[in-house]
Amino acid sequence: MMNLELSRIKCYFCSMDKMKKLVATTYAGLEQVLAEELIQIGADDVQAARRSVYFSGNDEMVYRANYSLRTALKILVPIRNFKIFKVDDLYYQAGKIKWEEIFDSNQTFAVQSKVFSELFQNSMYASLKVKDAIVDRFRRISGQRPSVNPNNPDIQINLHIANNQCTISLDSSGESLHKRGYRLGTHDAPISEVLAAGMIKLSGWSGEEALWDPMCGSGTIAIEAAMIAKNVLPGEIRKSFAFQKWKDFKSEVFERIKNEKDHNNVSFSIYGSDISRRNIDLAYMNAEKALVGNIVQLTIADFSLAERKPEVSFLLFNPPYGERILSGDQAFYAMIGERLKHHYDGSNAWIISTNACLKSIGLKPASRIPLFNGSLQCSFRKYELYKGSEKSR
């Protein structure tokens, strides 16, 4: 009896401890900060690639990565790699996966594809082949078939084809991880939560000093900074992840991860201000939902007139861009440069915008990092502000 119990326990830990090759996806330019985050949570074999980071870990690592990474968009679990030479090879290979061990026929699924291959005219056709293979396999085995739900599936399957090489993965995240769950309202041009967190990490902000976003919109940058300072993990607010619908989901392991939370006492403030009252109202609601309402201080203020906050020497913001908000003109950026130069000496200011807009700031950046905001090519620049000329420093 004792031995049977022991072997059960051992067996349970075997499957839990099974190391898997995993992939975390992100935005271009954030690969290195994501790799550092993965190392911090204990991932193995971490290797940055293009808009993704490869790593390995067990099921617990899959849950932890989803719950705690600030700069990941998705955590993918590759389940089959293979070569194809004709279209039907995809159907055949996808049908060999034991889908019935992953989910039940009464659950819904969807297949998302990225295809770079002459074998397929479009990625929808490739998705269709995998879908048929899954449905036919379920029918063969149980007589019942799962339904497809493209908008809100229980099980999200990811297909990647580059020339002849195919990878079928389970998307363990479901909705992109930038959807933390705190955005209750938004305006025309919010920045992605993942991009905001990535910029904060790229800037080298210590997490232990005040930070000010003087054009905060719905508050994303201030909220992400406050979450870092307080150690609120992104998953704390989110309702669900796709891995919770898998047949082998171990709820007790996920509960343990959730219970590890350890918030810091923060003795400084993160400031956000904006010219728009509506945006400040949104930012206020979002900060409360993100569990950082007590750290984030929000005010309505026009940056061209705003008083310097004596306790703040770190600014990080994304002003309106020409392409997305009409006020992003040359005079506006010249005003930002003039305010920074004459009122913020001794501070560092990081700004993301288009190269064209940033030209009008009229200050020499100490560093510049290429990033994308959506499809817009941008530059994330650091301005070290000091009195007088650079030579007099």
Write the DSSP string, 114-175: EEE-TT-S-HHHHHHHHHHHHHHHHHHHHS--PEE-SSS-SEEEEEEEETTEEEEEEESSSS
Q: Looking at beta carbons only, is 103 or 333 nearer to ligand SAM? A: 333
Q: Which residue from 127, 220, 354, 379 is in contact with ligand SAM, where contact means CB under 6 A?
A: 220
Q: Does 279 bind ligand SAM (CB under 6 A)?
A: yes
Q: Does 191 bind ligand SAM (CB under 6 A)?
A: yes
Q: Does 276 bind ligand SAM (CB under 6 A)?
A: yes
Tell me which stretch binds ligand SAM (CB under 6 A): 3-11, 115-123, 172-180, 216-224.
216-224
Considering CB under 6 A, how many residues would be counted as binding ligand SAM? 23
User: For the chain, what percentages of helix, strand and coil (3-state, to nearest 5) are there?
Assistant: 35, 25, 40
How many CB atoms within 10 Å of residue 265? 6
Q: Does 253 bind ligand SAM (CB under 6 A)?
A: no
Q: Does 285 bind ligand SAM (CB under 6 A)?
A: no
Q: Which residue from 215, 270, 349, 385 is in contact with ligand SAM, where contact means CB under 6 A?
A: 215
Q: Which of 238, 232, 251, 239 is nearest to 59 (CA)?
A: 251
SS3 21: strand
Q: Does 190 bind ligand SAM (CB under 6 A)?
A: yes
Q: How far apart are CA 90 and CA 302, in angstroms?
A: 57
Tell which positions 53-112 bind ligand SAM, by CB under 6 A: none
Token look-up 């201080």 returns 297
Q: Looking at beta carbons only, is 29 or 214 nearer to ligand SAM? A: 214
Q: Looking at beta carbons only, is 261 or 382 nearer to ligand SAM? A: 382
Give me 128's structure tokens.
């269709």
Q: Does 198 bind ligand SAM (CB under 6 A)?
A: no
Q: Which residue from 302, 343, 355, 366 is in contact with ligand SAM, where contact means CB under 6 A?
A: 302
Q: Does 272 bind ligand SAM (CB under 6 A)?
A: no
Q: How far apart are CA 155 and CA 30, in angstroms?
A: 27
Nearest distance from residue 69's CB to ligand SAM, in Å? 19
Q: Which single residue brings its beta carbon nearest to ligand SAM?
A: 217
Q: Does 303 bind ligand SAM (CB under 6 A)?
A: yes
Q: Does 318 bind ligand SAM (CB under 6 A)?
A: yes
Letter for the amino acid at 205? Answer: W
Q: How far apart are CA 181 and CA 199, in angstroms?
A: 20
Nearest distance from residue 126's CB to ligand SAM, in Å? 35
Q: Does 217 bind ligand SAM (CB under 6 A)?
A: yes
Given a contact cutoff of 8 angstroms between Cβ atoms, the answer to whether 274 and 216 are in contact is: yes
Q: Does 255 bind ligand SAM (CB under 6 A)?
A: no
Q: Does 334 bind ligand SAM (CB under 6 A)?
A: no
Kindly give the residue spans of alpha helices, DSSP state H, lying in the chain: 2-17, 31-40, 59-68, 87-95, 123-142, 193-203, 220-230, 251-259, 277-289, 330-343, 355-359
Q: Which residue from 128, 237, 275, 356 is in contact with ligand SAM, where contact means CB under 6 A?
A: 275
> What is the contact surface with ligand SAM in residues (CB under 6 A)?
187, 189-191, 214-218, 220-221, 274-276, 279, 302-304, 318-320, 325, 327
